[in-house]
Amino acid sequence: MCGIFGYVNFLVDKSRGEIVDNLIEGLSRLEYRGYDSAGIAVDGDKKGDTFIVKKVGKVNALKQEIIDQKLERSTLFDCHVGIAHTRWATHGQPMTVNCHPHRSDVNNEFVVVHNGIITNYRALKTLLESKGMRFESETDSECIAKLFKHIYDTNLKAGLEVDLNELTKQVLFELEGSYGLLVKSTRYPGEVCATRKGSPLLVGVKTNRKLKVDFVDVEFPEHDAPSSNNTSGLADGSSNLGLMPVAQGDNLRTSQSRAFLADDGMPMPVEFFLSSDPASVIQHTKKVLFLEDDDIAHIYDGELHIHRAKKSSAGEATTRSIQTLEMELNEIMKGPYKHFMQKEIFEQPDSTFNTMRGRIDFKDSKINLGGIKGWLPTIRRCRRIIMIACGTSYHSCLATRSIFEELTEIPVSVELASDFLDRKSPVFRDDTCVFVSQSGETADSILALQYCLERGALTVGIVNSVGSSISRQTHCGVHINAGPEIGVASTKAYTSQYIALVMFALSLSNDSISRSPRHKEIIDGLQKIPEQIKTVLQLEDKIKQLCDDHLNSQKSLLLLGRGYQFATALEGALKIKEISYMHSEGVLAGELKHGVLALVDKDLPIIAFATKDSLFPKTMSAIEQVIARDGRPIIICNEGEKVIGMEEKTMAILEVPLTVDCLQGLLNVIPLQLMSYWLAVNRGIDVDFPRNLAKSVTVE
C-alpha cells in the first residue's frame, strides 16, 4: 500500500547525496507494505528549482534511476525539505507519470505526495482544466498539487499573502475523501506541511538537545472555512469548491512551538522525519508525534506547529504528545531468516508469549487486561457481541467465537467488515463491536468502526499496531503485542489475536465460580502454548519433504475441518492461495457430502484436521468418506494418536501436541503456515511480496 516519507533538516548540514540516501532508506523501510512504484522530490541547484525523480518498480530501481540521471550529490543544505513516496496503484496504471510526487506545473512550484483517495477529484480536475491547468497523470492525487497552485495564484492576484499552513487549510477545504499528505513548494523554501484524514501520518523529531516539553500545542483557527470574497473563479456558488482566499490576520506565525526552542529562545539544530509508518523513522529517532485527522503539521525554521483544519469543538485535545516508540530496529529486520514470513512463523513461541506477558497470573488462573478492565461490567451487560474484521483477522474471530459464546453466554456474530457495511447491518447502543486488525489501518474495518461509533455502540479493538487508527478510535481494547509483522501473509498476528480473544472471553466470564475448572484448564493450556508451538515448528523438514514429494506440482488443495478447526481450514486455505497462488479451499467437514465430495478422487490433495475434541468421531467419518473415493488425505492429528490403521491409506500424517479444544487451532495452523511458505518458495515466489497484495489495505 502507498507509503509516505519526508525528511527535513534545519541547522544540520546535509549534502544533497545524504538527503537522497535518507529518502531512499526511508522508502525501503516502507517496502514491506507492498507497492508498485516510487519517487522523490528534493531542491534543485538554482533557487526555485525542484528535482523530481520517479520510477516504476522497486525502490532499488528508483535508486538506480537517480544514479542514471546523474543527480548532483555534493551541494550542502543547512535547511531543506525532501519528500518521497511508494505508490500502490488505485487510480491509473503503475506508470512513471502516475508515480508521486505530483506537481502543480512544469516548474514544480508545488509538489505533493499523497496516500488515500480524493473522491471529488473528477469535479476538481474538470474545474482546474477549465482554468487552463494541464494534467499529466490519471491519478486523483495530481489535482491536489494543481489546487495548491491555483489557490496560491488566486490569493496572489487578490494581493493576499498566505502562509503555507493557511494555504493548506484552503486546499483541504476543497478536498473530499481520505489523505495522508505532504506538500513542499518553491514558494515556501525550507517549509513543509503534513496533514491527514483517514490515513496515518507521524512526525519523528531528532535533536541533540533535550526538548523543553514533550508535547506540541495545537493551534485552532477562528473560522471553519475560508470566509472572504470568492476571487478564485472556481466556485459555482453551491458546491464545496468555493476556493475562497482569506486574509491573514494578526495570528500569522505569532505562536511558538515550545518544545523546539533552546534555553536562549533561539531555534536549535533539528531534523524531522515525516512518515506514514513508524518503521521508517525508528532508525533515526524514537521521539514521535502521531497526527490526528484534520491536523496540519507546519514545519519551518526548525519549528513544528500543529494547526487544525477546522474550528475546535468542545473537549478536543489542545496538545499532541511527543511519544517514545518502544519498537527496536532489529524487531523490523529479517535476522537469520530468508523471508520476513519465515521469521515471523518462527517467532511465534515468543510472540504468543508476549501477548500473554504480564496479563495472565498462571498461579491463580486470573486474567488482567489493562486496556479493557474498566469496561468489562459494561461489556458484560451488552445485548450481543459483534466481531468485525477482514481476511486472517476474520478467521481469528471465527476460531474463538465458540469459546466466547460458551464462556460469556452472550450471542456472538462474526462479520466480514465489507459485507457488514454492504448490508448496513443494524447496530444498537447496547451492542459491543470488536474490531480485530493487525495493522489497525484496514479501510473496510475502519469504515465499519465509524459506522458502529455513529450508532452509539461500544467499540473494542484487538490490534497489533500501537498508535494505528483502529487502536486510537476504539473506546478501549487490547494490543496483541506480537511485534511488527512485515511479511504480507499474516502469521504471528493470527496466533496472537487468537490468544488475545481467548483472554478477552475469559475476562468477560471471570465472575462465574461454576466456570472456574474450565478457566483453569484453558489458562493452563495457554501457559504451554509457546513451548508446544516450538514442537510443531520442528515439523518443518517433514512438511518441506511433503511439498517436494506430493504438493509442489498440484493445482488445487482442499482443507477439511469442523468445529474449532473450521477456522483453521479457512486460514490454512487463505495462506496457501495468497502465497503460493495454488487454489485451495477450506471446507466444513460436515458439508462434504452436500456437494464437495464430487471433487474427491485419487489426485486431489486433501488435508484433514483430526485432532482430539468432541467432534473427532465426526471428522473421522468425513475422512473415511474421502478414503472410500480413493482420496489419500494428509491428516493432522495429535501426537501418539495413531489414526488407527490409516497410515497406508494416507499421503502423510502430521502429529501436533494435544491442548485444550479451544486452543488446538493455535497449534494446527502452524503446519499450514509452513506448508504455504514452502510451496511458495519452491515455486520461486517472492514470499514477502505476493503479487496483487499489500500488507495494509487502506482502500475500500
Annotated catalytic sites, by residue? 2
Tell me whether residue 185 or residue 393 sits nearer to ligand F6R (CB atom): 393
Interface positions with ligand F6R (CB under 6 A)? 390-393, 437-439, 442, 445, 489-490, 574, 578, 697
Residue nearest to ligand F6R (CB): 391
To ligand F6R, the closest distance from the beta carbon of 394 in angstroms equals 7
Interface pick for ligand UD1 out of 198, 461, 487, 671 (rule CB under 6 A): 461
User: What is Dmax (Cα atoms) for the chain?
Assistant: 90
To ligand UD1, the closest distance from the beta carbon of 467 in angstroms equals 8
Instruction: Pick the piece of the chain touching ligand UD1 (CB under 6 A) from 27-35, 109-117, 460-468, 508-516.
Output: 460-468
> Minimal CA–CA distance to 94: which of 32, 137, 131, 124?
137
SS3 for 597?
helix
2 binds, options ligand UD1, ligand F6R, none, Cβ within 5 to 8 A by partner type: none
To ligand F6R, the closest distance from the beta carbon of 447 in angstroms equals 12
Instruction: Pick the piece of the chain touching ligand UD1 (CB under 6 A) from 15-23, 408-416, 469-477, 507-515.
Output: 469-477
To ligand UD1, the closest distance from the beta carbon of 493 in angstroms equals 13
> Minimal CA–CA distance to 138: which of 85, 91, 88, 177?
91
* Interaction of residue 436 with ligand UD1, rule CB under 6 A: no
Structure letter (DSSP) for residue 550 = I
Binders of ligand UD1 among residues 26 to 85 (CB under 6 A) are none
Distance CA 70, CA 64 (A): 10
Question: Which residues have a Cβ under 8 Å from the Cβ of 406 and sit 6 or more positions away?
Answer: 518, 662
Angle at 113 between CA 34 and CA 329, to 5 degrees: 50
To ligand UD1, the closest distance from the beta carbon of 681 in angstroms equals 34
Distance CA 303, CA 279 (A): 23
* Interaction of residue 476 with ligand UD1, rule CB under 6 A: yes
* Interaction of residue 477 with ligand UD1, rule CB under 6 A: yes
* Interaction of residue 434 with ligand UD1, rule CB under 6 A: no
Interface pick for ligand UD1 out of 453, 466, 599, 627 (rule CB under 6 A): 466
Binders of ligand UD1 among residues 137 to 156 (CB under 6 A) are none
Cell numbers linked to 429: 447502543
* Interaction of residue 453 with ligand UD1, rule CB under 6 A: no
* Interaction of residue 478 with ligand UD1, rule CB under 6 A: yes
* Interaction of residue 448 with ligand UD1, rule CB under 6 A: no
The length of the chain is 700
* Interaction of residue 328 with ligand UD1, rule CB under 6 A: no
* Interaction of residue 226 with ligand UD1, rule CB under 6 A: no
* Interaction of residue 288 with ligand UD1, rule CB under 6 A: no
**Beta strands, E only, 309-426:** 319-321, 323-324, 360-361, 366-367, 384-389, 412-416
Question: What element of type H or E holds 479?
Answer: strand 476-479
CB count within 10 Å of CB 89 equals 17
Distance CA 285, CA 278 (A): 10
To ligand F6R, the closest distance from the beta carbon of 439 in angstroms equals 3
Please compute Rg for the chain using Cα positions.
Answer: 27
* Interaction of residue 474 with ligand UD1, rule CB under 6 A: yes
Question: What element of type H or E holds 448?
Answer: helix 443-454
Instruction: Pick the piece of the chain touching ligand UD1 (CB under 6 A) from 10-18, 474-482, 504-512, 547-555.
Output: 474-482
Binders of ligand UD1 among residues 354 to 383 (CB under 6 A) are 370-372
Tell me whether residue 448 or residue 476 sits nearer to ligand UD1 (CB atom): 476
Tell me whether residue 11 or residue 466 sits nearer to ligand UD1 (CB atom): 466
Residue type, 511: D
Cell numbers linked to 343: 521469521
| Number of residues located near ligand UD1, criterion CB under 6 A | 13
Residue in the structure block whose three cell numbers are 524514537: 286
Q: List C-alpha distances in Å: 27 to 15, 37, 112, 117, 336.
A: 19, 11, 16, 20, 23
Angle at 216 between CA 210 and CA 222, to 5 degrees: 155
578 binds, options ligand F6R, ligand UD1, none, Cβ within 5 to 8 A by partner type: ligand F6R
Tell me whether residue 257 or residue 437 sits nearer to ligand F6R (CB atom): 437
SS3 for 493?
helix
Distance CA 595, CA 593 (A): 6
Distance CA 31, CA 19 (A): 19
Tell me whether residue 372 or residue 681 sits nearer to ligand UD1 (CB atom): 372
SS3 for 195?
strand
Question: Which residues have a Cβ under 8 Å from the Cβ of 524 and sit 6 or more positions away?
Answer: 362, 365, 660
* Interaction of residue 463 with ligand UD1, rule CB under 6 A: yes
To ligand F6R, the closest distance from the beta carbon of 95 in angstroms equals 26
Tell me whether residue 489 or residue 658 sits nearer to ligand F6R (CB atom): 489
Distance CA 305, CA 298 (A): 5
Instruction: Pick the piece of the chain touching ligand UD1 (CB under 6 A) from 143-151, 465-473, 502-510, 605-613.
Output: 465-473
Interface residues with ligand UD1 (CB under 6 A) are 370-372, 461, 463, 466, 470-471, 474, 476-479
